[in-house]
Amino acid sequence: MSQFKVFVTREIPRAGLDLLGTRCEFTVGSYEEKPLAEAEIRNGLKGADALLCLLTERITREILSDCHVKIVANAAVGYDNIDVKAATELGIPVTNTPGVLTETTADFAFSLLMSSARRIAEADRFVRAGKFTGWGMMMLLGNDVYGKTLGIVGMGRIGRAVAKRGKGFGMKIVYTDQARNPEAEAELGAEFVSKETLFRSADFVSLHVPLTPETRHFVGAAEFALMKPTSHLINTARGPVVDEQALLQALKDRKIAGAGLDVYEREPQVTAGLMELDNVTLAPHLASASVETRSRMATMAVENIFAVMDGRRPPNLVNPDVYAARG
Ligand code: GLV
């Protein structure tokens, strides 16, 4: 039998490529820090049995219909970049990398929260600009974190890990979700509230929902109108969950005190005007970016490919209907 051929769209950590190389032939589409164009993806998929892709590649119905892959392994927990419905109809399993990035992502969300509360990015720019001419009682005053209310939107794995950090910092936890999470309530004393109550009462709102048609623009002008002028919004989920134009306006009008963003509505573009504001901390989609976690995400994607090669159901399948249809 000829060797299984894998197309890896862009560079992934060595641990992933080394593992892949033990059993497969593979090509890497690009070693540059930019997403592949559709034509490059199509070209790379010629003769490929599997696709290992990143969240920057849009894997459309057309691409899936024109190739012959037996699995699409996304090296990310979110998979809104893939037309999963089309993959399911075409009988192609799609996998993601849940669990391994939970703590790393939660660390980053909390770092953005702290940065927004205590104006750390702004303070760094202040010092670099030579403006630190002496200690000032009134200089760069921020907001306290301890004793405040942390509002978690989406109490899944990552939301709960962020809530745990909040509890460690002496915060009260409220959350909203499609369903209650009794374990989080028992562990953290988290209180389940309506969306409206959460936006009204939280001093920090942290988003942890996947991007779906229901969560697109989940936070917009109406939610900013509910928030307190001292509150902060943290987004490490997906950019389009927030109406970025409405956020820009809320930050400009000081309807809210600040925001910490790791993701953007039209990534990698940042809505014009946001970069000029001091009350927003901007990061380039880094939440899972630790050496350890990115390596584990890469090997996990490879393990899913190996499972399909061996005729097994991949451990991190997101479209189980593919297997249900196979009986
Ligand atoms: C990162 O955003 C991921 O979905 O893994």
Distance from Cα 282 to the centre of ligand 1, integer Å: 17
Q: Verify whether residue 267 is a known catalytic residue.
A: yes
Q: Which of 55, 95, 211, 235 to mutate to test the pocket of ligand 1 (most atoms within 8 A of CB)?
A: 55
> What pLDDT is attached to residue 223?
98
CA distances in angstroms from 207 to 23, 25, 151, 171, listed in the order given: 39, 39, 9, 17
Q: 325 pLDDT band (50/70/90 cuts)?
A: confident
> What pLDDT is attached to residue 327?
67
Helix (H) or strand (E) holding 322: helix 321-326
What phi, psi does 242 have (nearest 5°)? -115, 135
Separation of CA 215 from chain center? 14
Per-residue pLDDT tens for 127-138? Answer: 999 999 999 999
Q: Verify whether residue 285 is a known catalytic residue.
A: yes
Judge whether residue 83 has pLDDT over 90. Answer: yes
Nearest CA to ligand 1 atom 5: 76
Q: Verify whether residue 238 is a known catalytic residue.
A: yes
Answering whether pTM is above 0.85, one says: yes
Which atom number of ligand 1 is nearest to the Cα of residue 101?
A: 5
Per-residue pLDDT tens for 269-289? Answer: 999 999 999 999 999 999 999
What phi, psi does 194 have (nearest 5°)? -75, 165
Percent of the chain scoring above 70 in pLDDT: 99
Per-residue pLDDT tens for 282-323? Answer: 999 999 999 999 999 999 999 999 999 999 999 999 999 999
| 237 Cβ closer than 6 Å to some ligand 1 atom | no
Helix (H) or strand (E) holding 120: helix 120-128
Judge whether residue 74 has pLDDT over 80. Answer: yes
Per-residue pLDDT tens for 98-118? Answer: 999 999 999 999 999 999 999
**To the nearest whole number, what is the mean pLDDT of the chain?**
97
Per-residue pLDDT tens for 16-59? Answer: 999 999 999 999 999 998 889 999 999 999 999 999 999 999 99
Judge whether residue 2 has pLDDT over 80. Answer: no
| Residue of 198, 188, 186, 193 lying closest to 166 (CA atoms) | 188
Distance from Cα 288 to the centre of ligand 1, integer Å: 7
Distance from Cα 104 to the centre of ligand 1, integer Å: 11
Give me the mean pLDDT over the 227-256 stretch.
98
Give me the mean pLDDT over the 201-216 stretch.
98
Instruction: Give burial (CB, 10 Å; 0-12/13-18/19+) of 154.
Output: buried
> What pLDDT is attached to residue 311?
96
